[in-house]
A and B are shown apart, each in its own frame.
Chain A
Amino acid sequence: MSEVIKIKKGLNIPLAGKAEKIFGQSRLPDLFAIKPTDFKGVVPKVVAKEGDAVKIGTVLFQDKYHPEIKFVSPVSGTLKSVIRGERRRILEVIVESDGKDEYVDFGAANPASLDRDAVINRLLQSGAWPYLRQRPYDVIANPQDTPKAIFISGFDSSPLAPDVDFVLTGQEDALKAGIEVLKKLCPEVHIGISSDAASKVFNTLQGVKLHAFSGPHPAGNVGVQIHHVMPINKGEKVWVIQPQEIVSIGSIFTKGHHDFSRVIAVTGSEVEKPAYYRYRLGASVEELVAHIKNNTSLRFISGNVLTGEKITSDGFIGFYHSQITVIPEGDEYEFLGWALPGFGKFSVSRSYFSWLFPKKEFKLNANMHGGERAIVVSGQYDAVLPMDILSEFLIKAIMMEDIDKMEQLGIYEVVEEDLALCEFVDTSKIELQAILRKGIDLMIKEMGA
């Protein structure tokens, strides 16, 4: 940890609406949902029936091909409905809260006294297993595997992201317990921390390897950190997990039940007072955004503006998200927009005169700012991807469905969030994240996860 890994390429998008480090007051909503679409590659099989009474930790659905991986209710109440989309694909499993917070008790246990199988079993039973995701591919880890290491990013560098240290303050014991559990799964636990602010929470942990990173986003992306510490080669697997999820895992062992509490940062230029809220995984965001009174159309995002998912104003927080962003939708025509000086338009190029205000925080909307084109400009992706990966050539290999080339060019090392900035800066407005996911799906189909 002595030396700092300096990330030079990248970009901090200067967005308005960062959360102040205070807690806002909010009651929990009545509706909660787990969205099977949050889990890549999972084919959900609903186990509970509509109208069933559920507790915190009651299984709602499981993976059809890995039935041991279960997805449980974050709240007690009744299973209200299963929302399906096109071709009966399950989109949301909605639970109505009874406010009692009854839970399934797994009994407290000391992870140190359990063997690895018992730990895995407990994580599977309590619905905590989906927290563990595997690189390559960003899919839920396979319980039969033993990874090379478990890697945790101790800070989030994405736009308007919550401050992880602030979020974890007061939960150190559960975090410690969670780390002990992880060490049972794989003794090699690595944590990437920011060199800018001394991380009080992570520095006190025992038996983990810390790596300090400096520089702009995506320095906080776990994939970027892994690339610099232990790049993933063919056949290798690294598991990743997010800090708040480790706290939840810790709670399963210290308290004996799965605690789905989450600190959520409510951010974005349209939020009156961006702040943190003590909330819960899977909860409807309506209580958090109820105060936003605006007649213009808005974009509600679970997660950040680069990788988050579009939701409605009464939609649900995604399984892996601890942030909500609200920005203007921007669905209006703009007269001669490409020709104006553009003082309020952010661009990494200095082709708009917004470069005159380097400190300005921008109120960006969801407009595409142009049409999709063939790839013309070169070197754009490389400037914001701090990895030894020629992303343009990788993307082209994916478009050609050339498995060999995809492998050679490093598809094992990147997931969507790593290319999100490339997509942001792309003059040709190509959907790089969607293309990458297609490539990953093809890899899984041809080579197996």
Chain B
Amino acid sequence: MKALRKLLDNIKPHVSKGGRFEMLHSTYDAFETLLFVPNKTNQNGVHVRDAMDMKRNMIVVVMALVPALLFGIWNTGYQHFLALGQEVTFLETILHGVFKVIPIVIVSYLTGLAIEFAFAQMRGHEVNEGFLVSGMLIPLILPVDIPLWMVAVATAFAVIIGKEVFGGTGMNIWNPALLARAFLFFAYPAQMSGDLVWISGLSTMEGVDATTGATALAAAVEGNIGSFPLWNSFLGIIPGSIGETSTLAILIGAVILIFTGVASWKIMVSVFLGGYFMGLVFNLIGINSLMQVDAIHHLTLGGFAFGAVFMATDPVTGSRTETGKWIYGFLIGLFAIMIRVFNPAYPEGMMLAILLMNTFAPLIDHFVVDANIKRRLKRAVVKA
């Protein structure tokens, strides 16, 4: 450790202001603080501080995403060989998944971090940790057959237009990862929807019935939800975006997030409540095949669970007041199922529901803050 510290101390003058490699200052700083927690001590205000910092915060979220990632890797291989009708070993399944998924993760991180570093240097800021999470979220909500260059373009779009134009981490209005997906969905619909993209290599397979590649939601539109029993969609052995299929793996992540206190349980619970409520209402109406899907089953399909646990809970783009969180989450669940049911062309409503509520979160907060102000005013009048 001492040798490493010494090396860093030796490099420092060169990248500090006035040094030859000043343009690498933010990059150096990012690596230095990654390797060593700085020796800076509190000077004003409190003398001791909670050990939690943004790096730890973000790394906990990444850890919570690992079960979904691992399952996604396995499922990618499993679905591939299932469509081919081949029996293979567990190792082969995993290897196929690794070769398909890891490049997407790497492209997402490289593109995003390069842009983050450049912006931090331009603005003279420290590099923010926010992209550690976004960089993992983006691959997990994409179909596995997505071309890598599209991943790069979408990531660049999300980071620049979604985040940096607003001032960086903490200032953005919409969830960057979802923006990446929305961008791809509207720019390249052929690679983002349909029945061919969800299983790796399906479009090039010969003699395989393309309908085997339909997602559960696409099947439900046709009234074929029966081929996707609740248990299968809960475990996640169905076609879909890389990380979103297994409700179980996502719930493991949810437990990590809630137990560590990193994400709001209020939002998660209220999203599921909202979705369940809407599902029940539609069950009662029941005029199209999606309305007849069982309300609980709805919650395990598509990106609902993934969105509820990892996307809606993004504190920057979500509601920031505790009361607001209940309303915000409930409405996300409600709209997700509503969009899904009323939009047969694209039954995945979670992405749009969250982006919509991201837009309205400040409005919800405004009303909560206003209520607080009114309480205070009322008190003054009563006393006078």
Contacts and interface: CB of A to CB of B under 8 A. Distances in A.
B51 A301 contact: no
A345 B321 contact: no
Contacts of B36: 333-337
Contact of A234 (B5, B37, B318, B380): B380
B322 A352 contact: no
B7 interface: no
Interface in B16-49: 33-49
A332 B52 CA distance: 17
Interface in A390-427: 390, 392-393, 408-410, 416, 420, 423-427
Interface of A: 13, 15, 159, 231, 233-234, 299, 301, 305-308, 310, 325, 327, 329-339, 342, 345-352, 354, 364-371, 373-379, 382, 388-390, 392-393, 408-410, 416, 420, 423-429, 431-434
B59 A339 contact: yes
Interface of B: 1, 4-5, 33-57, 59-60, 126, 128-130, 167-171, 259-262, 264, 315-316, 318-322, 325, 365, 368-369, 372-373, 375-377, 379-380, 383-384
Contact of B38 (A349, A371, A377, A432): A371
A17 B42 CA distance: 20
B50 to A, nearest CB: 5
Contacts of A327: 47-48
B4 to A, nearest CB: 8
Contact of B53 (A336, A346, A429, A432): A429
Contacts of B50: 346-349, 369, 424-427
B1 A393 contact: no
Contacts of A331: 39-41
B254 to A, nearest CB: 14
A352 B51 contact: yes
B51 A376 contact: no
A370 B54 contact: yes
Given A366-B47, A424-B48, A329 B41 contact: yes
A348 B40 CA distance: 21
A351 B260 contact: yes
Contacts of A429: 49, 53
A428 B57 CA distance: 10
Contacts, number: 211
A367 B41 contact: yes
Contacts of B126: 371, 373
Contact of A433 (B46, B52, B384): B46
A390 B168 CA distance: 24
Given A299-B47, A423-B46, A429-B53, 17 more contacts: A13-B48, A306-B48, A338-B37, A339-B59, A346-B51, A368-B42, A369-B49, A369-B50, A374-B170, A376-B170, A378-B319, A379-B320, A388-B375, A393-B369, A409-B369, A409-B376, A424-B48
Contact of A349 (B169, B260, B320, B365): B260
B322 A382 contact: yes
The 4 closest A-B pairs by CB, nearest first: A370-B53, A374-B170, A337-B37, A345-B51
A365 B48 contact: yes
A377 B1 contact: no
A208 B372 CA distance: 32
